[in-house]
Amino acid sequence: MVEVIKKGFFLINGNQIVNENTRPDIDKNEATKGTITSKILTAHNTSGSNKNLKIKFDALASHDITYVGIVQTAKASGLKEFPIPYVLTNCHNSLCAVGGTINEDDHVFGLSAAKKYGGIFVPAHQAVIHQYVREMMTGCGKMLLGSDSHTRYGALGTMGIGEGGPELVKQLLSKTYDVPNPEVIAIYLEGTPKAGIGPQDIALAIIGAVFSDGYVKNKVLEFVGPGVAALSVDYRNGIDVMTTETTCLSSIWITDDKVKEYYKIHGREADYNTLQPENITYYDGLVKVDLSKMESMIAMPFHPSNIYTIKELNENAEEILNLIEEDGKKSYGSKISKFDLKSKFKDGKIHVDQGVIAGCSGGTFENVRLAAKMLTGRTTGDGAFNLSVYPASQPVFLELVKDGSIAQLIEAGATIRSAICGPCFGAGDVPCNNGFSIRHTTRNFPNREGSRPSDGQISWVALMDARSIAATALNGGILTAATDLAMPEIEGTYTFDKKVYDNRVYQGFGKADLNEELKFGPNIADWPKMSALTEDILLEVACVINDPVTTTDELIPSGETSSYRSNPMRLAEYTLSRKDPEYVGRAKEINKAEQARRAYITGITDTSTVEILTEAYKGLNADIKILAKNTGIGSVVFAIKPGDGSAREQAASCQKVLGGWANIAAEYATKRYRSNLINWGMLPFITEDHEKLALNNGDRILVKDIKNAVQQGKESVNAFIYRLDGKIDSTQLKLPALSKDDRDIILAGCLINYYSRK
């Protein structure tokens, strides 16, 4: 189905693949400029260099977990007006049921910010963030930055990048997004999918082929080849949005008459341009996808890359279910009393408790309409299995009402929800303890969607295409591949009714009113003051994570905890709560020493302060006065590969407000998590001796002359480890590829300090 070729090649006339070694007559450097990616990046680059890019985007997008913090940070940094279109959507904490009035208070703040600074405000339940951008803000050749990791609009000719909030702040302050010129990997599509195969099947197959070895990490995926023409635009969008789970930087597709028709349907014909690679184009690698060989897929817990064909799973159910159970035990064995996924296998069949079709990946018009046609005149049954459907926007919902799809789903027993992202991050249709849920959404990470290991609760979430979810519903909750059923014929075209947005969305770009007052609810709090980097730092380990990959949802849980997203200190109470419940207490204790240090250098030298500092600095063999002046004290998280998944900056900022000054990792799972660490003034250390270090909670790491090292751009620093058992070791910590701005932000202590000082 998917073949990964880790060699550069030339693409001739869009359909001929030629090994680079067979064409020495072609100038590779010149042919590299022929990618769609190169053309778009060049058009948006302000650095004057094709090696290190400084990008200015055409538009920005955020949702209601991130925009309050972004506006607050930008305001503290000198924001006067939104310089480019910035849409504030309300699709994550939209239910306004969790946390009392907290969620709606933030929505009120968002509207006031849009009026004050000239933004676009999409009220709750109108659209999920990415569907609104698809419908209203994309354009061929444009670039858009979003504070959500699934910011992907490549199928519509727009390069979307998902980053943490501080990167949007930089754009709001007319600064740049700095990134090395990325490699470009061609995703070459050929063939035509058979009936029953949907976009999620193809997306999961690609993710499964490239995720584990990080082959496309921080690269751009460019979709080319004759197979693109076989796919509708809705279908392409469904594949494209899932490219985030490969850890690529962005994606882009060739465009054609189908994309042109999409823009025409949405009343934006002027936003269409034909995007194609040049006749001779060089790519850094190749992923060949034969669409005709695709099978119905399922991504089992706890990652979208944990893929099987549904046929394979059904034929080897006991073995695979046991394997998933064992994976769960490795991560949560001491916290969960009973793992019982194997109980879902009864009478030779796998029984499912819940199906969900939702969000930017699943809730598209074609997915929902096809599921409705499959279920027409049938029933989802009156047993344990239940099905929920979330159309991705009100215009999509309206068209599904007009063509009868919503009525068909309701009659079959499905529950229809509004346009929110709840099921994707744990705030809607949360499965029961030990429940098995199949979902056409974006992620199935642990600590989302029901699992609360700290409370002894586990749920099993798998990703599937809407077609196979509907097939499973037709089979009373018995896991079924859509390819096992006859697919209904679908007729008719989609009509987009913009009146839905005209009547409800606030369009304020270019209409900033600085006299407008921001409206603060009681849970909206400013960021606490953060100190600059000291000459030396003493880090105490507050959390050790030995999992191969750590997601942002494990660093800061999503779901109900996100009600406190606009209150840094309250949200910080949940940091690592489902992975390491003792972390917050440890971090606070370490931070007491830093607070004592700050008090001491201002002249507070009472007995308690001195005792705290004496204990913190024990074994360093230096005068406490000198240490207090020069050596800051902070906590550190030690992990193998942290930061997979969400762009939410809180994964880093929550550590910072608790006194975190660094992470030490073998590598960082995504650029956006590393950027979040930097923008919150935290040192993103890399160690090449992760196993040898074998750090434990309570171990301390002294890094001398760190301020000088950062100022000079040194990529390696010496560190001394003071272990709990009294042993002292030395090691080297790496700080590779920090830009001048990165270094200045770390030196200042955080992005807010950096801009306020400027």
In degrees and rounded to multiples of 5, residue 447 shows phi and psi of 70, 5
**In Å, what is the CA distance from 476 to each residue of 279, 295, 336, 470?**
51, 22, 29, 10
The one-letter amino acid at 457: Q
Tell me if 534 sits within 8 A of 617, measured CB to CB: no
Confidence check: pLDDT of 98 > 60: no
Question: How far is residue 536's CA from residue 705's CA, in Å, rounded to a whole number?
Answer: 5
Of 635, 665, 451, the closest CA to residue 541 belongs to: 635
Q: How confident is the model at residue 502 (pLDDT cuts 50, 70, 90)?
A: very high
In the CATH hierarchy, which top-level class contains the domain 536-757? alpha beta
Q: Which residue is associated with the tokens 């053309």?
A: 39
pLDDT number for residue 275: 98
Alpha helices in 661-739 (DSSP H): 671-679, 690-693, 706-712
What's the mean pLDDT in 735-754? 93
What's the mean pLDDT in 470-490? 94
Confidence check: pLDDT of 679 > 70: yes
pLDDT number for residue 96: 63
Confidence check: pLDDT of 212 > 80: yes
Query: CATH for 59-177?
Result: 3.30.499.10
485: helix, coil or strand?
coil
Confidence check: pLDDT of 500 > 70: yes
pLDDT number for residue 399: 96
What's the mean pLDDT in 490-502? 91
- Taking only the tens place, the pLDDT of each residue in 327-372 is 888 777 767 777 888 899 999 999 999 999 999 999 999 999 999 9
Asked whether the domain spanning 297-499 has the same topology as the one spanning 59-177, the reply is yes
Of 627, 6, 661, the closest CA to residue 283 belongs to: 6
Q: What percent of the chain lies above the pLDDT cut of 90? A: 75
145: helix, coil or strand?
strand
Q: Which residue is associated with the tokens 């790491």?
A: 701
Gap between the terminal Cα atoms of the chain: 53
- Taking only the tens place, the pLDDT of each residue in 707-724 is 999 999 999 999 999 999
Confidence check: pLDDT of 99 > 60: no
Both tokens assigned to 17 = 């693949």
pLDDT number for residue 526: 83
What's the mean pLDDT in 469-481? 96
| Mean per-residue pLDDT of the chain | 92
Confidence check: pLDDT of 386 > 70: yes
Question: How far is residue 587's CA from residue 572's CA, in Å, rounded to a whole number?
Answer: 10
Both tokens assigned to 229 = 């023409």
The one-letter amino acid at 465: D
Q: How confident is the model at residue 101 (pLDDT cuts 50, 70, 90)?
A: low
Q: Which residues contact 671 (CB under 8 A, 6 or more apart)?
A: 179, 218, 249
Q: Where are the domains of the chain?
A: 2-42+182-293, 59-177, 297-499, 536-757
Question: How far is residue 684's CA from residue 360's CA, in Å, rounded to a whole number?
Answer: 31
CATH 3.40.50.1370 for domain 2-42+182-293, yes or no, is no
Q: How confident is the model at residue 326 (pLDDT cuts 50, 70, 90)?
A: confident
Of 230-239, 342-351, 426-435, 642-651, least confident by mean pLDDT is: 426-435
Burial of 359 (0-12, 13-18, 19+ CB in 10 A): buried
Distance of CA 564 to the CA centre of its chain: 19
Q: How confident is the model at residue 23 (pLDDT cuts 50, 70, 90)?
A: confident
Q: How confident is the model at residue 692 (pLDDT cuts 50, 70, 90)?
A: confident
739: helix, coil or strand?
coil
pLDDT number for residue 518: 93
Question: How far is residue 495's CA from residue 399's CA, in Å, rounded to a whole number?
Answer: 7
- Taking only the tens place, the pLDDT of each residue in 569-603 is 989 999 998 889 999 999 999 999 999 999 999 99
Q: Which residue is associated with the tokens 């690529």?
A: 248
Helix (H) or strand (E) holding 631: strand 631-639
Of 196, 295, 336, 307, the closest CA to residue 242 belongs to: 307
Q: How confident is the model at residue 274 (pLDDT cuts 50, 70, 90)?
A: very high
pLDDT number for residue 447: 65
Q: How confident is the model at residue 503 (pLDDT cuts 50, 70, 90)?
A: very high
- Taking only the tens place, the pLDDT of each residue in 522-557 is 888 888 888 999 999 999 999 999 989 898 888 988
Q: How confident is the model at residue 395 (pLDDT cuts 50, 70, 90)?
A: very high
Which CATH fold topology does 297-499 show?
Answer: Aconitase; domain 3 (3.30.499)
**In Å, what is the CA distance from 419 to each residue of 234, 272, 507, 545, 750?**
17, 26, 20, 36, 35
Q: How confident is the model at residue 93 (pLDDT cuts 50, 70, 90)?
A: confident
pLDDT number for residue 450: 66
